[in-house]
Amino acid sequence: MSIRTIGVIGSGSMGTGIAHIAAQSGYEVILNDVSAQALERSLGSIAAAFDKLVAKGKVSEAVKNETLGRIHTTTELTAMAKADLVIEAIFENLEAKCDLMKKLDTICPPETILSSNTSTMSITKMAAVTGRPDRFAGLHFFNPATIMRLVEVIRGYYTSDATIETLMTVVRSLGKEGIEVKKDTPGFVVNRLMLPQLREAVLVYEEGIASIEDIDKAMTLGLNHPMGPFTLMDYTGIDIAYDSLNYLQAELGESRWSAPQAMKRLINAKRLGKKTGGKGWYTAQ
């Protein structure tokens, strides 16, 4: 199947990044959100990113205008009827995602591929509420989507080989590297490996073994990670890590996934990181 128009649902940081790279790669993009103000902020963010590139001489003003011209914003979900591929990028709540997929299944033509940008949740459960489980898959981009090269392409139980092949082609056309997640398992590959590391970092801090700053330093200088676990949680959202751990614990039934109390205390204090003005494990200056 040839993909020409990509629908993106949700104009938060992930949806904005996905819309940006899709339009930059030549696709027509339909960006949807329930909030017109959120859509306006999203377009402003993309324009600002291009302004920096134009100022540095990396792209021309014409390229910026052409790219922005390929992004069509709307608060009407019915606009997704024109999309060949829809990527859901709303908040991490399985019930909300399933409700959305039911609606999309009635709106989009039968040949449209539906996908979710979820980082941990079951692709098979979402696909099951549609009449096209063979044309449903996970398409997990990483934050920031404009920079991070990896995309996890996740099979649901019924996802067809043709769907995976099409999505891998799309991923490559975006300048990304795709890996195929062959089994729909909580956390897929990256979060299955990363979340235990984040959890252990918090436990090391709770036990008084080292400070937040020194744990981050240990991971950046000792393992050559681009950022430490606490800096990473502040960037992506402490609530995201917390909810993901709780989801894996519920799905896998193992105490090793239980979220530390220190994370819950920060969430109760509404210190989520970047999304709460830089107040998280650290306080932005």
Catalytic, out of 42, 115, 116, 152:
152
Catalytic, out of 13, 115, 119, 244:
119
191 is catalytic: yes
65 is catalytic: no
Q: Is the Cβ–Cβ distance between 248 and 195 less than 8 Å?
A: yes
Strand, helix or coil for residue 159: coil
Catalytic, out of 191, 200, 246, 251:
191
| CA pair distance 231, 160, nearest whole angstrom | 38
In the structure, how many helices (H) and strands (E) does the chain have? 11, 8
> Which of 123, 103, 121 is CA-nearest to residue 112?
103
Q: Which residues of 225-264 are buried (b: 16+ CB within 10 A; e: fewer)?
A: eeebbbbbbbbbbbbbbbbbbbbbbeeeeeeebebbeebe
Q: Read off the tokens for 114.
A: 């539906």
61 is catalytic: no
Task: State the Cα angle at 51 between 46 and 52, rounded to 5°.
Answer: 100
72 is catalytic: no
Q: Is the Cβ–Cβ distance between 244 and 187 less than 8 Å?
A: yes
Reply yes or no: is the peptide bond before residue 144 cis, omega within 30 of 0.
yes
Q: Read off the tokens for 25.
A: 């790669």
Catalytic, out of 42, 88, 115, 140:
140
Name the residues annotated as catalytic. 119, 140, 152, 191
